[in-house]
């Protein structure tokens, strides 16, 4: 069906807007599979990066430089015995991880990886994302309650209290960004994710730099709140190992536990993409106006290919540094193969039609990756907040700051 393909390639709207159920389905599959793979990659990266923060090597055994570790982990988790505590409420125990997983994956329906690269564009996009991601609280509470044990229950109460209270600061920060979208002649803003990015394009600035430092502070509030929202260090109280063993998922193991992890990492990527969409210009490349023009477009469009070539080069350097022992033959070959695949992808990304098509996706993912790296960095750097301190930060610091930023943004919007 070549016309089908060409029609797709020429369309510049999302499949949802075009009303094409077929392409929407394809996109859903691609996005969900992509997120799952991204979670696995993130898992590997986190272990590696954290290890290097801590002068360790991290996984090195499974595959060259532990590259196959996520797969090994997945196999281990899938084949583990599925333990359900005898006193647990079986149905709720079964349902809880699914709710968390669904809540975090459903948000990707509106994440705009590019102008045409989103499953659909809802006109309440950001509201939808916040709403659906807030549903994961239910999963947490249910998991804690269904386990019928003290530590999970305490962990669940803690984490739901935390998630609910940080949602407020998060929402207010989001509102101030949404307010900025209305700064156009017609005076109408938008809640649509794609619309927000287009507003930044039209206003020729990312919202993080809008009304400096207001946009920046709003992003800061959001960036802190989103760490708390996803229960990550330094706000990882619900999972405070030294206090509550593992929080709400203490009683979970094997596949169900891995669903929690999958949901958690997917939620991390989801909130990061909210931050990127709202403040960092979504899929827009850096300096679209300052460095405008055909030649700059060309230069920036080379980045994805160059990145993959660079990764391939790193892989080949790794091949060179592999111990020259027959024992490492397969590993070396594997790493070389991996490098070759990366290089091939890099070369493919230089082909002009592909280049134009994937550019926006690349920039979006690159910006999200920065936030994902920040998550790891926080985890390596910060001790854990105490519960009352966490609440204090949420209610007494972030909430007033977010409110103030919102007010000032409104005032600035009227004045300028």
Which residues would be at the binding site for another protein (CB under 8 A)? 16-17, 19, 21, 50, 53-56, 89, 91-92, 95, 120, 122-124, 127-128, 130-132, 134-135, 137-138, 141-142, 145, 150, 153, 157, 160, 164, 167, 188-189, 191, 233-234, 236-237, 240-243, 245, 379-389
Q: Residues 81, 51: contact at Cβ < 8 Å?
A: no
Distance CA 114, CA 117 (A): 4
Q: Residues 359, 29: contact at Cβ < 8 Å?
A: no
Q: Residues 370, 286: contact at Cβ < 8 Å?
A: no
User: How far apart are CB 76 and another protein at their closest, in Å?
Assistant: 22
User: How far apart are CB 383 and another protein at their closest, in Å?
Assistant: 4
User: How far apart are CB 305 and another protein at their closest, in Å?
Assistant: 35
User: How far apart are CB 10 and another protein at their closest, in Å?
Assistant: 20
Angle at alpha carbon of residue 314, lines to 310 and 317, rounded to 5°: 135
* Phi-psi region at 120: left, alpha or beta (left = phi > 0; alpha = psi -120 to 50): beta
Closer residue to another protein, CB minimum distance, 113 or 235: 235
Closer residue to another protein, CB minimum distance, 125 or 282: 125
Distance CA 138, CA 99 (A): 7
User: How far apart are CB 403 and another protein at their closest, in Å?
Assistant: 14
Closer residue to another protein, CB minimum distance, 146 or 349: 146
Residues present in the chain in total: 416
User: How far apart are CB 396 and another protein at their closest, in Å?
Assistant: 13
3-state DSSP assignment of residue 327: helix
Closer residue to another protein, CB minimum distance, 160 or 230: 160
Inter-CA distances, 83 with 144, 248, 257, 288, 368, Å = 15, 15, 10, 53, 35
Closer residue to another protein, CB minimum distance, 128 or 363: 128
Phi then psi dihedrals of residue 322, to 5 deg: -65, 140
Closer residue to another protein, CB minimum distance, 36 or 106: 106
Distance CA 193, CA 181 (A): 11
Closer residue to another protein, CB minimum distance, 21 or 37: 21
Closer residue to another protein, CB minimum distance, 17 or 201: 17
User: How far apart are CB 282 and another protein at their closest, in Å?
Assistant: 20
User: How far apart are CB 234 and another protein at their closest, in Å?
Assistant: 6
Distance CA 100, CA 379 (A): 22
Distance CA 48, CA 353 (A): 35
Burial class (CB in 10 A: 0-12, 13-18, 19+), 391: middle
């Amino acid at each position: 069906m070549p016309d089908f393909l060409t029609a797709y390639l020429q369309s510049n709207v999302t499949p949802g807007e075009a009303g094409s159920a077929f392409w929407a389905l394809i996109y859903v599959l691609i996005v969900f599979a992509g997120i799952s793979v991204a979670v696995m990659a993130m898992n590997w990266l986190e272990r590696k990066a954290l290890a290097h923060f801590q002068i360790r090597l991290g996984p090195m055994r499974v595959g060259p430089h532990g590259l196959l570790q996520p797969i090994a982990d997945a196999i281990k988790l899938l084949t583990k015995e599925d333990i359900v505590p005898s006193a647990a409420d079986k149905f709720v125990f079964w349902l809880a991880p699914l709710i968390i997983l669904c809540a975090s994956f459903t948000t990707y329906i509106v994440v705009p990886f590019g102008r045409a690269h989103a499953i659909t564009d809802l006109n309440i996009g950001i509201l939808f994302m916040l709403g659906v991601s807030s549903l994961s609280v239910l999963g947490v509470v249910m998991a804690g309650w269904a386990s019928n044990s003290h530590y999970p229950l305490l962990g669940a109460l803690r984490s739901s209290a935390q998630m609910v209270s940080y949602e407020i600061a998060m929402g207010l920060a989001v509102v101030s960004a949404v307010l900025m979208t209305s700064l156009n002649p017609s005076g109408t803003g938008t809640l649509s994710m794609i619309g927000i990015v287009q507003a930044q394009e039209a206003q020729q600035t990312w919202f993080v730099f809008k009304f400096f430092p207001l946009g920046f502070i709003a992003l800061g509030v959001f960036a802190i709140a989103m760490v708390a929202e996803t229960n990550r260090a330094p706000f990882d109280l619900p999972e405070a190992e030294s206090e509550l063993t593992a929080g709400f998922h203490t009683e979970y193991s094997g596949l169900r536990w891995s669903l929690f992890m999958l949901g958690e990492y997917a939620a991390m990527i989801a909130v990061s993409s909210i931050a990127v969409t709202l403040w960092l210009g979504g899929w827009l490349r850096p300096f679209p106006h300052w460095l405008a023009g055909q030649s700059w477009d060309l230069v920036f469009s080379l980045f994805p290919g160059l990145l993959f070539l660079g990764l391939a080069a790193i892989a080949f350097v790794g091949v060179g540094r592999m111990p020259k022992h027959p024992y490492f033959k397969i590993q070396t070959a594997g790493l070389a193969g991996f490098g070759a695949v990366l290089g091939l992808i890099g070369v493919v990304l230089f082909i002009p039609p592909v280049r134009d098509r994937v550019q926006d996706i690349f920039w979006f993912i690159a910006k999200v990756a920065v936030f994902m790296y920040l998550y790891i960095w926080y985890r390596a750097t910060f001790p854990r907040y105490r519960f009352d301190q966490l609440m204090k930060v949420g209610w007494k610091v972030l909430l007033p700051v977010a409110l103030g930023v919102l007010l000032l943004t409104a005032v600035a919007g009227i004045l300028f």
